[in-house]
Structure 1
Amino acid sequence: METERLTLRPITASDVDDLRALHADPEVMRFLDPAPVENYLGASFHAAHEKATGRFVGWFEFKGTGEVELGYRLHREFWGLGYATEGGKALIERGFTSGGVERVVATTMFVNAGSRRVMEKCGLRHVRTFHVDFPDPLPGAEYGEVEYALTKAEWQRAQGERHVAGGIS
């Protein structure tokens, strides 16, 4: 799958070194619990590479069937460039147009403002704030977790509004 600036493909064993390097950055993992790299292998996780340079940008998760979970993790050097939004929107569009997806959900820590902004730019709306009793909570866990979501009907309505606003009807 390609976007304007990214190539997305399922993560394979050949991506393990790139994943380990990404997960070794404490700033990237600041709001996340580490999981074994092998957990990211398979069709639900997509390696993202910059089309212009071929560099590994990070990964995107799009896991589930009717309701899918959107996730992303990018190298710091790619933060603030719109790549997370670009990849997320592309997966959402494909899911709603040809993947049988009815609802997309995403969660993060309340204090992870950057990730929340990406969710909003992808069209997801805040659904709830909730608290999880973690055995070894990360700093900021006391503020809770947030869930964002977007239904297919909401996405279709926004696409129609965008076309009308852009002069396309």
Structure 2
Amino acid sequence: MPHAVLPDMFLTSRLRAQRMAQTHLPFITRMHANVDLMQTMGGTRDAAASRLYVAQNVSHWSEFGYGMYVIGDRQTGLLAGRAGLKYTPFGDLGAIELAYALHPDCWGQGYAQEIACALIDLGFQRLPVDVLAAVAVDSNAASRRVIEKTGLRYVGSSDDGVTLKVRYEIRRDDWRLRQGQTADQR
């Protein structure tokens, strides 16, 4: 098992991110059964699909040293969703993709942007990559706004025959420029 490149746990101003583990299966299963949430990601998943999802993400951590987290509100301790960086096959090459999903009770609170920014920072600080990517369902305007606010730029779309998806990227040099702007604005 490779050494973890990203931390098993980290904090943002309002969130606690913990490396996804088998113990998170009940929460992930409830998320995957939520119709409102899953309509933004291609449809609900049953318990078997949720078990497979958690197992694949636990394995991803072992293989790559980074992966998905379960995130919760630091004040209340309530779980809010999942987010992370994951290796995704894309064309002839793979990509490291920013991914997140929040329970509908947590929508509109800025959690998605907060965790996405933290993950982008961790990715460029700790992973030897020049580009991070994100994919959203074209009709998911809220997720697209989050992706764009975090500095990723639209690079294209794809249609799997069921759902039109849009792809975004941020390059390390663009992230560095944004970091400088952030520091100057303080």
Tell me the TM-score range normalised by the shorter chain: 0.7 to 0.9
CA distance in 1, matches of 2:182, 2:116: 18
Task: State which of 146, 162, 167 in structure 1 corresponds to 2:166.
Answer: 146
CA distance in 2, matches of 1:130, 1:24: 26
CA distance in 1, matches of 2:68, 2:182: 29
Q: Do structure 1's residue 160 and structure 2's residue 180 form an aligned pair?
A: yes
- Code of the residue aligned with 1:84 in structure 2: it is A
Contact 1:67 1:102 in 2 (8 A): no
Task: State which of 47, 50, 67 in structure 1 corresponds to 2:70.
Answer: 47
Task: State which of 29, 37, 40 in structure 1 corresponds to 2:50.
Answer: 37
The range that moved more, 12-21 or 61-70, is: 61-70
CA distance in 2, matches of 1:15, 1:27: 20
Contact 1:28 1:75 in 2 (8 A): yes
- Code of the residue aligned with 1:70 in structure 2: it is L
Q: Do structure 1's residue 21 and structure 2's residue 44 form an aligned pair?
A: no
Shift of 1:28: 0.2
Q: Do structure 1's residue 88 and structure 2's residue 119 form an aligned pair?
A: no
Equivalent in the alignment of 2:91: none
The range that moved more, 81-90 or 91-100, is: 91-100
- Code of the residue aligned with 2:170 in structure 1: it is L
Equivalent in the alignment of 1:59: 82
CA distance in 2, matches of 1:78, 1:16: 19
More helix by share: 2
Aligned pair count?
158
- TM-score computed with the length of structure 2 as normaliser: 0.78
CA distance in 1, matches of 2:12, 2:182: 19
Task: State which of 5, 27, 32 in structure 1 corresponds to 2:14.
Answer: 5
CA distance in 2, matches of 1:24, 1:18: 10
- TM-score computed with the length of structure 1 as normaliser: 0.86
Deviations 1:73-105 (A, max 9, x none): 111010010101111110110111122232111
Gaps of 5+ in 2: 1-9, 62-66, 89-93
Equivalent in the alignment of 1:121: 149
